[in-house]
Amino acid sequence: MQLRPLGRSGLSVAPLMLGTNVFGWNVDEPTAFAILDAFVDAGFNAIDTANTYSRWVPGHSGGESETVIGKWLKKSGKRDKVVLATKVGEDMGEGRSLRKDYIARECEASLKRLQTDRIDLYQTHFDDEVTPPEETMAAYAQLIVQGKIRAAGVSNVSPKRLRASLEASQRLGIPRYEALQPLYNLSDRKEFETGYEALCREQQIGVIPYYGLAAGFLTGKYRLPEHADKNPARAGRLKKYLDARGSRILQAVDQVAARHSAKPAQVSLAWLIGRVTAPIVSATNVQQLLELAQAPSVKLSDEDLALLDKASG
């Protein structure tokens, strides 16, 4: 499987990245291990998690997903086969923070849970909007020098703060953000395409979007409000897609899927794969994962792309 460079970091990833926020939450450890093994065995290599997964669950304190992955890394011996990404900055009990001391402390905690000596891609999860970009980027630079991380990335920051961070790194002569993890999919296009895409192309920043299937909407399983109600955990996010535009998008996806004897999710991901470094996908069982893993083999024609772009533009 052809690997794709992640910015100028020296890291290369296959065209799908595995999201693991469900690990230690609604996916138990044995199932998580099976999903991770199947993902790597299918030729993929990039795994994404965060220190806060899954702090939102009653009784959880964060770090549950990292802990599961760490146990798998130790048991499987596959550490050198994966590009391991995690995040820092979201609230772990004392509010969001990108202070230098906070990043250093949380990195140590993540390394311990992951049972590894290095994080390949360490990402700003959420901006605290107060810490100077110079301080945050210096924190990542120090961790790179120490060998604790290989590259830095960023997720939920404004275009203005992203550019300020890149400028701070250039001004200080230190490593910059090499990857952006934005909200981007066939339904959610405007924010990335108008606010970030040009900058990412200009600066050669890798793009690894989350919600590649729009919280499940682009699987085609949710077409009416009552369908969304059957999944209370996602109902609020799903219902925003259930309008006339959403119907047009699903009709176009269905039409393209029929041409390729593919699933709607595979078509939706194939469209995204053609535009970014690697979308993030998550699965709650191996069968679901293996179905999503077929997305890179769906080769969309110019006619397919025109139809999808017209419906979703």
Q: Which residue numbers are catalytic?
A: 53
Residue that the structure tokens 């997903």 belong to: 65
Task: Find the length of the chain.
Answer: 313
Virtual CA dihedral for 141, 65, 217, 271, nearest 10 degrees?
40
Residue 121, φ and ψ in degrees, nearest 5: -135, 110
- C-alpha span between 185 and 209 (Å, rounded): 8
Nearest to 78 by CA among 124, 19, 38: 38
* Helix, strand, coil share of the chain (percent; to 5): 50, 15, 40
- C-alpha span between 278 and 209 (Å, rounded): 7
Residue 47, φ and ψ in degrees, nearest 5: -125, 130
Q: Report how far apart, in Å, the C-alpha atoms of 272 and of each of 37, 228, 289 are.
A: 24, 23, 17
Radius of gyration of the chain (CA): 19
- C-alpha span between 170 and 148 (Å, rounded): 21
CB within 8 Å of 13: residues ≥ 6 apart: 3, 4, 6, 45, 46, 83, 206, 208, 277, 278
